[in-house]
Chain A
Amino acid sequence: MNVEINDLTRRFGRNRAVDGVSLRAGAGVFGLLGPNGAGKTTLLRMMATVIPPSSGTLRLLGRDPGSYGPRREIRRRVGYLPQNLGYYPGFTVAEFVEYFALLKDMPPREVPRAVAAAVEQVGLGGRARSRMRTLSGGMLRRAGIAQAIVNQPEVLLLDEPTAGLDPEQRVSFRALLRDLGERATVIVSTHLVEDVGAACGEVALMDAGKIVFHGTPDELTARGEGTGAAGDAPLERGYSAVLAAARSATAVRS
């Protein structure tokens, strides 16, 4: 298993952003669904080793990121697209991707070819020498994806990767995700249910820091059947039904 999480919790003051989450993920595309504030981004940031957990255990690629050596090795082999991608406005797309390839400790001789491949994979070949400040929101997102995949990561963490992409690009991106998922663990955080249905083999639904559903998209769809839950598509109805059930259970307990 590339990702092993056991009873992971992250607190910010009194607020538990992630509350006792346990997950295991091997190769394939894993969707993290949930409403805004559910804890998806915090969970992803912990997996990206940007912030440490408050308690619980996290193992990535069989290593504990709590100590320097293993954390460095993990970071070499992980790709991460944060929700808010910062960028250097004066960098070209190729320079931006190259910068992070170098920070990932890739062998310098391999970097130019890896950069070219990643930039082409996200369809930015024609804009490789454009300054980042001249790109549209969708192009910036694709540049962010390019830096995440430049090192051919074994664990790829994508936070709202399709935000800003037009429908055609989203369809292409889902195909890219499926392809990447054949050899790597791809964890995609999104609130767009259709992305999960189209690309993910496994899905977890988070609410209030907890995982309230874990299964396949088909199983999530089945949860919505005959419930009268809101939603235009079967998967959306499953999503709504699971959330409603989780919230009513929480209300009863409290």
Chain B
Amino acid sequence: MTGRDEMAGDHDSLAGRGPGPGDVDLDRVWLGVAAQVWRRDPGPAERAAARLLRSPGLARALVTTPSLLAGWLIATAVVLLAGLFATLGTGTPYVPLLAPAVAAAGIAYAYGPGIDPAWELSRSMAVSDRIVLLARTLAVFAVNAALGLAAAAAGAAAVPNAAAVTFGWLVPMTAVCALALAAATLAQSASAGVAAGVAGWVIVVLAGQSASGRLTAVITDAGLVLPYLAFAAVCAAIAWAATRVPRGT
């Protein structure tokens, strides 16, 4: 038996096909046919990502992100729609308060053990898992920002200080997402990332309300932008350190 043969399986063996009439090498012909029949044509999103990232492997890793799959995106849209209807009904801007927590959950569920079924295998691949994590994180952030902005803009007419409320949550969202990412990578657990992100955001919102009397203080106070960004930078550095390939302990 040679490498051109195959393990006993449920398909005619390559050796069984053998050389055909004349000089036709049926093995080569069959492989050519199989290659065309079995190949997966990438969708438009994957093709665009491959061009942008200059790596078909990274693009494929991106479109398999758990928190970018249809089910997750639908769930995200449903939560934001519920927030939108609550905003329109009450005048309280629920979308900007919900969106950072929803995005943090998406970030935590973008990559990691228990989330990616083939995580162990992925860590032995030439396309670095750190790069996969970075690409997925940025993509999840961008998609959540876009969905959140659309929902916040749709509810803007119902809330006071519309401009600040509609865009003001993007910076806190960056900090909350960075916190979720740092916790998820440090603990190697998506659940830990979600818990840290959501709990962190709830604490900040409640603390802001008790300090100022306004639920939206944490997204409209311009003085908080720098602390948010500094916190996000620290969390990003923690995530970067947690995903390096260290010497063993």
Contacts and interface: CB of A to CB of B under 8 A. Distances in A.
B117 A89 contact: yes
B171 to A, nearest CB: 32
A169 B126 contact: no
B34 A119 contact: yes
A24 interface: no
A41 B124 CA distance: 14
B117 A116 contact: no
Contacts of B203: none
Interface in A35-85: 48-55, 66, 68, 71-73, 75-76, 78, 80, 82, 84-85
A104 B9 contact: no
A120 B116 CA distance: 26
Contacts of A89: 117
Q: Is the interface of B mostly helix, strand, loop or mixed?
A: loop
Given A119-B34, A126-B11, A87 B126 contact: no
B34 to A, nearest CB: 4
Q: Is the interface of A mostly helix, strand, loop or mixed?
A: helix
A172 interface: yes
A116 B38 contact: yes
Nearest to A42: B248
A171 B6 CA distance: 11
Contacts of B124: 48-50, 75, 78, 80, 82
Contacts of A78: 124
Contacts of A95: 40
Contacts of A105: 55, 57, 126-127
Contact of B121 (A92, A147, A169, A176): A147
A75 B35 contact: no
Interface size bucket, B side? 35 or more
B123 A169 contact: no
A86 interface: yes
A86 B115 CA distance: 10
Given A128-B38, A173-B7, A99 B119 contact: no
B4 to A, nearest CB: 8
A102 B13 CA distance: 26
Contacts of A247: none
A236 interface: no
Interface residues of A, number: 66
Contacts of A100: 118, 121, 125
A10 interface: yes
Interface in A98-144: 98-100, 102-105, 108, 111-113, 115-117, 119-129, 142
B221 interface: no
Contacts of A169: 7-9
A88 B126 CA distance: 19
User: A112, A168, A179 — which one has the most chain B CB atoms within 10 A of its CB?
Assistant: A112
Contacts of B1: 172, 175-176, 179
Contact of B128 (A11, A52, A54, A72): A72
User: B6, B12, B39, B55 — which one has the most chain A CB atoms within 10 A of its CB?
Assistant: B6
B239 to A, nearest CB: 18
A179 B12 CA distance: 20
Contacts of B56: 102, 108
B81 to A, nearest CB: 26
A48 B120 CA distance: 10
Contacts of A85: 118, 121
B243 interface: no
Interface of A: 10-11, 13, 48-55, 66, 68, 71-73, 75-76, 78, 80, 82, 84-89, 92, 94-95, 98-100, 102-105, 108, 111-113, 115-117, 119-129, 142, 147, 168-169, 171-173, 175-176, 179-180
26 contacts: A13-B249, A48-B124, A53-B247, A66-B247, A73-B126, A78-B124, A80-B124, A85-B118, A86-B116, A86-B117, A86-B119, A92-B38, A94-B39, A99-B64, A105-B57, A113-B35, A115-B35, A115-B39, A116-B34, A120-B34, A123-B6, A126-B10, A169-B7, A172-B5, A179-B1, A179-B3
Given A98-B60, A124-B9, 17 more contacts: A48-B124, A50-B124, A51-B248, A52-B248, A53-B247, A75-B124, A80-B121, A82-B124, A85-B118, A99-B61, A100-B121, A105-B126, A111-B39, A127-B10, A142-B7, A172-B6, A173-B7
